[in-house]
Structure 1
Amino acid sequence: MIDFRYHLVSLISVFLALAVGIILGAGPLQGAIGDQLTDQVDALRGERNTLREELSEAQTEAGEQRQFVVAAGDQLVSGSLAGQRVAVVDVDEVGDGAEQAVLDQLDDAGAELVAHESLTDSWTAPDEATLRDTVAGGLRERLAEVDGEVVDDESSTAELLGAALTVALTDADPTDSSARSAEAQDLQGLLEKVGLVDVETAPEAPADAILLLSGGDTHADEAQAEDADPETTGMGALTTLAGAAADLSGAAVVAGPTAQEGDLVSAIRADDELVDAVSTVSGIESVTGQIVVPLAIAAQQSGTVDQYGFEEGATVLPPEPGSQDGDGSSQDAQGGASNQGDGQ
C-alpha cells in the first residue's frame, strides 16, 4: 500500500523539475531559444518579402505581355476574314465575356456575322431522342437531294440533324450567291419550330464558315443513360454536328476554353477522323485564344486543318492564310511544317 511519504516524494520531484525548467529557461537557454525564434521569424519575413516582389514582377510582366499580345493580335487579325460570312452556333452555355470577345475578334477580322444561334437541350438530351428521330426521319429524302454524298439511307439521326443545320446556315440560292436558298430557309424554320435551336441573330445570308462555340460544359454525361445512344446523344451528337458542318460547309471550327477531359474540343481531338476535318481552338477565355479563332477560320478556308492551343501536341498559332507548301502542308509559327490535322 502506497503511503503518504511516496506522495510527498513525488510532489517534491515535480516541483524540483519545474524549478529547474524555470531557472534554465530564464538563464542559459533563454538566449539560445530567443535567438533561434528571432532568426526563424526574420527568415520567414524575408521569404515573404521576396515572394511579394516576385509576384509583383510577374504581374507586371504578364500585363506587358498581354499588351503585346493585344497589339500584335490587332495586326494579325485585321482583314484576315475580309468579305467572309461567318455563322456562330453556341453548342452549350458560353460565358458572355468570352463569347463577346470572340465576336469582337471576328468583327476586327472583317468577317460578317450572318447568323448567331444556340442549340437547345433538345439537341442532346436523352429524353428528346424520339423528337430528334421523328424530325430526322422526315428530313432524310430532302437532305439527300441537297447533298447525296453526305446524307444517305444509312445516315444517323445526329448526322441528319447536323446536315440540316449546316444547310440552313450555308446553302445559297442557285441564282444569287448572296441570298439563302428556299431549302435553307425552310430547314431553319423547322429547326426553330421543333425547338432544336434558339435564334439570337436570324440568318441573313449564306455563311462561308461555321464557328461552333462551347463553354466547356457539353453535358457529356447524358450519353451514359442506360437507354441512350452515345452516337446520337450528348457528346456524340455534338461531334457529329461538327463533322457534318465541316463536310458540308468546308470550313468548320470548334472553339472553347482550355481543353479538359470530357469537353467538345478534347472529344474532337481524340477522334482520328474529325481531327483531319475540323479545326479546334482552346483557351478562348484568354486574349490569345480569342485572337486565334478568326485566324483558324481563315487557315481552314485556305485548306489547313489543325488544333490550336497551348496543350501538348497543339499548334500555338495558325499559319498566315494562303501560306502553304506544294504538298498541302502549311508553315507553323516557328517555320516548321504543320500538316493538316496533325495538331493532336
Structure 2
Amino acid sequence: MIDFRYHLVSIVAIFLALAVGIVMGTTLLQEPAIELAKRTSDELTNANNDLRSELDTLSGREAGNDTFIAAAQPDLVAGELTGQRVLLIETPGSSTTYREAVQQALSQAGAEFSGRVTFTEKLLDPKGTGVIDGLVNQLKPANMTFPATATAWDRAATLLAATYLTTDQAQAGTPNTTTAGVTTAFETGGLLSSEEEPDKRATLAVMIAPERPYEGENAETQAGALASLINGFDVAGKGTVLAGTVPTTAAPGDAIGVVRDDSDISKRVSTVDTIDMPMGRIATVYALREQLDGRAGQYGIGKGASATVPAMTSATPSPTTQSGS
C-alpha cells in the first residue's frame, strides 16, 4: 500500500506546482499584456487626433467656402426671378432662420413676395381629415372637381393652391374671386395662418420643410400630407420647391425623402436639402428658375439628390406667361 504520508506529500506537491505555475504565468504574461494594451491605446489616441485634425481642416474649408459663396450670392442669383411672385410656405417644425435666409436669396434674385402661409400641426393631423373635407366641400368653386382617389390633403391642396397661385402672369398679384374666404375659413379652423397678402396670387412657391423629420406613429402620414400639399401647389402655379436640410438618419417622417421616393411627384416638384448652407439657398433660386422652364430636379447632398445644384445657364427667365411645371 502507498504510505499515507507519501500520498499527502504528492497532493501538496501537485497544488504547489499549480500555484507556482499560475504565479509564473501571470508574471510572464503581465508585461506583454500591458505593453499590448498601451500600444493599442496609443494607436487609438493618435488615430483620434488625426481624425480631429482632419475634421478641423474640413470644417475650416467648409466655413471658407460658405463665406465666399455667401459673398458672391447676390451676383450669382441677380435677375434670375425678375417678374415672378413667390409664395413662402412654412410647415410645422420648420426653421424661421432658414426661411429668412431663403427669402433673402429670392429677393436678391428679383422676386416679389405675395405673402407667407404657415401650416399648423392640425392640418397634418390624420384625425382631422373630416374637418378638412368639410371645409373643402363648403368652400370649393362649383367647377372644382377631384379625382376619386384624392385624399383630404390632395383636395385641400387643390383649393388652397387655387387661392394662392396662378400660371397666368396677367393674373399674378390679383385674388381669385372664386376662392374668396378660403384663407379666413382655414385660419378660423386653426389649419393655417397667413401674413401679408398671399391671396394676391403668386406664380411660384417655396415650402420650407421641417428642420427634423417628424416622429411618432403618424410621422409618415404627416410627411405624406406635406408631399400631397406641395404637389397640389405645383399644379396650380409655375413651379414649387421643397427646401430643407439633410436628416442625420433616414426616417419615414422626412418630407423631402417622401417627395423624392414618389416618382410621380418628383417629376414635377423640385427639392433642395442644403438650405442651411449658402449653396442651398442659391440652389433654391436656380431650382425655381428651372421650374419656369418646365423641369424639376432633386438637389443637395442627401439620399436621392441627383446633383448639388441645378445646372447653371446664362438664360434669365422671362416674366411672360409660360406653362406650368
| 289-298 or 184-193: bigger deviation | 184-193
Q: Does 1:203 align with 2:198?
A: yes
| Partners of 1:153 and 1:38 in 2: CA distance | 71
SS at match of 2:141: helix
Q: Which residue is 2:93 aligned to?
A: 93
Q: Does 1:320 align with 2:305?
A: no
| Structure 1 residue 87: Cα displacement | 0.9
Instruction: Spell out, residue by residue over 1:95-141, the C-alpha distance to the aligned partner (whole angstroms, 9 max, x if none).
Output: 33333332333233333332111122332323222212221212343
Letter in 2 for 1:316: T
SS at match of 2:102: helix
| Partners of 2:202 and 2:173 in 1: CA distance | 9
Q: Which residue is 2:207 aligned to?
A: 212
Task: Number of aligned residue pairs: give it.
Answer: 308
1:99/1:7 Cα in 2 relative to 1: closer, same or farther (>3 Å)?
farther
Q: Which residue is 2:120 aligned to?
A: 120
Letter in 2 for 1:64: G
| Partners of 1:158 and 1:209 in 2: CA distance | 20
Q: Does 1:152 align with 2:140?
A: no
Q: Does 1:245 align with 2:240?
A: no
1:297/1:48 Cα in 2 relative to 1: closer, same or farther (>3 Å)?
closer
Contact kept in structure 2, 1:299 and 1:321, CA below 8 Å? no
Instruction: Spell out, residue by residue over 1:280-336, the C-alpha distance to the aligned partner (whole angstroms, 9 max, x if none).
Output: 222334443233112211221233222222234523211336749xxxxxxxxxxxx
Contact kept in structure 1, 2:158 and 2:233, CA below 8 Å? yes
Letter in 2 for 1:292: A
| Partners of 2:168 and 2:44 in 1: CA distance | 73
Contact kept in structure 2, 1:173 and 1:182, CA below 8 Å? no
Contact kept in structure 2, 1:239 and 1:268, CA below 8 Å? yes
Q: Which residue is 1:298 aligned to?
A: 289
| Partners of 1:33 and 1:67 in 2: CA distance | 51
Q: Which residue is 1:141 aligned to?
A: 141
SS at match of 1:191: helix
| Partners of 1:4 and 1:133 in 2: CA distance | 100
| 212-221 or 160-169: bigger deviation | 212-221
1:16/1:123 Cα in 2 relative to 1: closer, same or farther (>3 Å)?
same
| 183-192 or 32-41: bigger deviation | 32-41
Contact kept in structure 2, 1:101 and 1:290, CA below 8 Å? yes
| Partners of 1:272 and 1:52 in 2: CA distance | 40
Contact kept in structure 2, 1:235 and 1:264, CA below 8 Å? yes
Q: TM-score, normalised by structure 1?
A: 0.71
Q: Does 1:273 align with 2:268?
A: no
Instruction: Spell out, residue by residue over 1:248-280, the C-alpha distance to the aligned partner (whole angstroms, 9 max, x if none).
Output: 112222223227453322322233332222222
| Structure 1 residue 209: Cα displacement | 0.9
1:115/1:184 Cα in 2 relative to 1: closer, same or farther (>3 Å)?
farther
Contact kept in structure 1, 2:259 and 2:266, CA below 8 Å? yes
| Partners of 1:206 and 1:171 in 2: CA distance | 6
| Structure 1 residue 7: Cα displacement | 6.3
| 164-173 or 295-304: bigger deviation | 164-173
SS at match of 2:243: strand
Q: How does 1:277-288 map to 2 (within 5 A)?
A: 277-288=268-279
| Structure 1 residue 58: Cα displacement | 2.9
| Partners of 1:82 and 1:91 in 2: CA distance | 26
- RMSD between superposed Cα atoms in Å: 3.9
| Structure 1 residue 177: Cα displacement | 4.9
| Partners of 1:6 and 1:183 in 2: CA distance | 111
| Partners of 2:96 and 2:7 in 1: CA distance | 80
Contact kept in structure 2, 1:77 and 1:108, CA below 8 Å? yes
Contact kept in structure 1, 2:66 and 2:277, CA below 8 Å? no
1:177/1:141 Cα in 2 relative to 1: closer, same or farther (>3 Å)?
closer
5+ residue gaps, structure 1: 145-150, 225-232, 325-339
| Partners of 1:73 and 1:138 in 2: CA distance | 45
5+ residue gaps, structure 2: 317-323
Letter in 2 for 1:168: T
Letter in 1 for 2:181: D
